[in-house]
């Protein structure tokens, strides 16, 4: 119905209402003429009831219900309904009496139908009005539900767009941060004219390829993310030489698990950036395993207690991403001890 032209919708509505009132008219002829053999009298008498029935029905349907009942103004709705029924009853009585007088003057002495008593006729009219009110309430309730669903869908769509925009913004923050560290490492080797520089450039190209072509995907295979981590670790090993010791343990990885791209690297990057050399060595222990429907990821590096925690924007961004990607389905623990800094992540798939 939303895509129908307004004029065509008006025509359809008019035809529907016309058929309905024709059906009401025939109901009156049956209701009032049951047992009567004067069909002409019954048909003409039923016509006198139609104007009041239509006016009262539409008054309830298009004024009282939407303006008072739908807006929860129950007292005013009841009050105005009583006024409406009193006034309508007066008009009904006048219409019925006028019908009796006019039709009885036709000279036909057998014009009185069997169901002509005044209370019975008024009851029949209000049965129709009550039926229309019930149908109207059902219609308004249906339209309200449709409107609520539309608003809910629009709200969810807006929330989804906001989350997507925020995720893109967070990724944009991660990329420059990561690239800055990598390029800074290559720059140091280039100045020293080290033989490792070409290999580092190759590793960086693999990382850039991952960033450019994989990071926009909602999810990548865990094995791809691991390869990305290992390339990054290789770059850092070249930069640190013998002062870096990395232990990367992987268990039960499989080939089917998927995670958002660049979800794990901020933890590893943070351990290299803020880790502390103890006895001339920076130690980083990384554990990654899959157990049933859970991913466990831990990064622990040598460190010292600082007056203020310095974790950089990497961990802050990853906290926000985890809240958006795995709401109530992840646990992130950060433990800062005397000589170690540990991050533990648990994700439920």
* pLDDT of the residue at 261: 84
Instruction: Enumerate residues 6+ apart whose C-beta is below 8 A from 175.
Output: 211, 215
At 283 the pLDDT is 93
CA distance 332 to 314: 14
Identify the architecture of domain 156-348 in CATH. Answer: 2-Layer Sandwich (3.30)
Contacts within 8 Å (CB) and 24+ apart, 115-124: 115/31, 115/32, 115/33, 115/34, 115/35, 115/36, 116/32, 116/45, 118/93, 121/32, 121/49, 121/92, 121/96, 122/89, 122/92, 122/93, 122/96, 124/28, 124/31, 124/32
Under a CB-based contact definition with an 8 Å cutoff, are residues 261 and 214 in contact? yes
Spans in the chain with pLDDT lower than 70: 1-5, 34-38, 99-100, 102-116, 162-179, 181-182, 185, 194, 305-314
pLDDT of residue 113: 46
Length of the chain measured in residues: 349
Is the pTM higher than 0.85? no
Domain assignments of the chain as residue spans, ordered by start: 6-116, 156-348
CA pair distance 244, 242, nearest whole angstrom: 6
Predicted confidence at residue 312, as pLDDT, reads: 53
Name residues whose C-beta falls within 8 Å of residue 293's C-beta, 6 or more positions apart in sequence. 348, 349
pLDDT of residue 111: 46
């Amino acid at each position: 119905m939303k895509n129908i032209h307004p004029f065509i919708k008006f025509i359809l509505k008019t035809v529907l209402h016309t058929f309905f009132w024709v059906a009401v008219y025939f109901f009156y002829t049956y209701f009032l003429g049951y047992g009567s053999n004067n069909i002409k009298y019954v048909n003409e008498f039923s016509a006198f009831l139609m104007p009041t029935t239509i006016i009262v029905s539409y008054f309830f349907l298009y004024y009282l219900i939407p303006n008072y009942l739908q807006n929860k103004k129950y007292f005013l709705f009841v009050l105005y309904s009583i006024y409406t029924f009193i006034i309508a009853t007066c008009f009904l009585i006048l219409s019925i009496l006028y019908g009796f007088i006019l039709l009885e003057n036709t000279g036909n002495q057998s014009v009185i139908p069997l169901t002509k008593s005044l209370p019975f006729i008024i009851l029949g009219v209000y049965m129709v009005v009550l039926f229309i009110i019930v149908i109207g309430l059902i219609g308004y309730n249906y339209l309200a539900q449709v409107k609520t669903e539309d608003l809910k869908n629009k709200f969810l769509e807006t929330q989804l767009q906001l989350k997507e925009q925020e995720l893109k913004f967070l990724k944009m923050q991660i990329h420059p941060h990561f690239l800055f560290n990598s390029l800074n490492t290559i720059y140091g080797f280039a100045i020293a004219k080290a033989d490792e520089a070409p290999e580092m450039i190759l590793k960086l190209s693999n990382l850039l390829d991952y960033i450019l072509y994989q990071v926009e995907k909602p999810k990548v295979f865990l094995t791809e993310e691991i390869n990305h981590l290992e390339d990054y670790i290789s770059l850092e090993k070249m930069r640190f030489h013998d002062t870096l010791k990395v232990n990367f343990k992987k268990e039960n990885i499989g080939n089917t698990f998927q995670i958002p791209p660049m979800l794990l690297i901020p933890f590893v990057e943070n351990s290299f950036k803020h880790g502390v050399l103890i006895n001339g060595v920076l130690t980083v222990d990384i554990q990654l395993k899959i157990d049933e429907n859970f991913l466990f990821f831990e990064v622990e590096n040598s460190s010292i207690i600082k007056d203020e925690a310095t974790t950089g924007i990497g961990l802050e961004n990853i906290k926000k991403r985890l809240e958006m990607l795995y709401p109530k389905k992840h646990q992130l623990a950060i433990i800062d001890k005397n000589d170690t800094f540990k991050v533990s992540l648990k994700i439920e798939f």
